[in-house]
Homo-oligomer: A and B are copies of this chain.
Amino acid sequence: DTASALAAGCPVVFKAHNAHPGTSELVGHAITKAITDHGLHPGVFSLIYGPGTSIGQALVADPNIKAVGFTGSQAAGTALTRTAANRPEPIPVYAEMSSLNPVIVFEGALTGPTANIDALAQQYVAAVTGSSGQLCTSPGLLFAPTGDAGDKFAAAVNHAITTCAGQTMLTESIAGSWHTGTEALGSADGVTVLGQGADGQTHNAPAPAIYATQVKDFLTNEILHQEIFGAASLVIRYTTTSDLLDAITRLEGQLTATLHLTNHDYPTAAPLIPALEQKAGRIIVNGWPTGVEVGHAMVHGGPYPATSDTRTTSVGTLAINRFLRPVAYQNLPTELLPTPLHNTNPWHLNRLINGQPT
């Protein structure tokens, strides 16, 4: 958001996360140096420190602020969104709040040799435990088929997670939420522990945990839909395509949805795609959702509560649209037109002229 706001010509006030003040300071210095090197006004970037509840809310309420970007909890994002909507002049809030990033494993992906099944399980566990699971696209749900192939996959997941140790989480509060969330999930009806690693050697490094359940329990219990930020995930065993459609329909908005399949699974997977389009901003085949790229086709956003604004992305070239506003110039002489709109196209922009891209 900072990069796209600056690219759109907006000054940015950045509130550092209290959990990593040093990193914020380093990044802030790098941005300030770039601003100086390019001869921009030093006021285009400010870095400030303080508690989000007071300083964040005060910034969002300030009449000089015209748009807000945020990454964090659903409670904090919702509070900022409400503040922005209730200003005398309402402004947009781009809050990235929660996502379970469902992964669906089809039969075909489990039909190869055991080594392939083991590799898939290891990739899943790596995606769940990387950065201690503290990534917005960490897979919190995985749908695996019932039957032999699914059982083999579950056993491989158990094996892979058992050898993992906890990594330090960002703050004590985040680790506390992880404990509360996993306790609620682990004690929910129909949920069992599929496998758990070891506690880490450091402070706030709980043992990564993977749970298991059936589609029928997922459909009826709200607790199984709560994001647990950190190394925890839930494997849901399904039997039919209808199970998957029911589960997708029941999902809230997501940043990503992922399918693992071979060409034998295409007929089974095809009817799920239109349902997933309604629920996620990015649909991935035979990959893992962690990782984004700054490119033209990137969407890092999705329906509420993944983000507060479904129409945009926070990563990719389209992200600049968060901070732009269209203006029509009707009958203006060249002398009064902004330079980039001159007929000579001096900035070499891609343009639409009478509906044709030029």
Give me the interface of A with B, judged by CB distance under 8 Å: 81-82, 85-86, 89-90, 92, 259, 263, 266, 269-270, 273, 277, 280-287, 296-299, 301, 303-305, 308-313, 317-318, 321, 324-333, 335-336, 338, 350, 352, 354-358
Report Cα–Cα, A296/B355, bound state, in Å. 6
A326 to B277, alpha carbons, bound, how many Å?
9
A283 touches B328 (CB 8 A): yes
Residues of B contacting A287 in the complex (Cβ-Cβ under 8 angstroms): 330-331
* In the complex, chain B residues whose CB is within 8 Å of the CB of A304: 89-90
Copies of this chain present: 2
Asked whether A285 lies within 8 Å of B328 as measured between CB atoms, the reply is no
Q: Contacts of A350 on B, CB cut-off 8 Å?
A: 352, 355-357
A273: chain B residues within 8 A (beta carbon): 332, 336, 338
The CA of A20 and the CA of B73, in the complex, are separated in Å by 46
Which residues of B lie under 8 Å from residue A357 when comparing CB positions?
350, 352, 357-358
Determine if A329 and B266 form an interchain contact, defined as CB atoms under 8 angstroms apart: no
Instruction: State the CA gap A313–B335 with chains docked (Å).
Output: 26
Contacting pair A318 B327 (CB below 8 A): no
Contact of A330 among B92, B283, B313, B333 (CB under 8 A): B283
Mostly, the A contact residues are: loop
Which B residues lie within 8 Å of A324 (CB)?
311
A230 CB, min distance to chain B CBs, angstroms: 25
Pairs A-B, 10 closest by C-beta atoms: A357-B357, A85-B85, A299-B328, A282-B328, A284-B330, A285-B331, A266-B335, A89-B304, A299-B326, A310-B325
| Across-interface contacts of A333 in B (CB, < 8 A) | 263, 266, 285
B326 and A313 contacting across the interface, CB-CB below 8 Å: yes
Other-chain contact of A311, B280, B298, B325, B352 (Cβ < 8 Å): B325
Most interface-central of A313, A330, A358 (chain B CB within 10 A): A330
CB distance from A262 to the nearest CB of B (A): 10
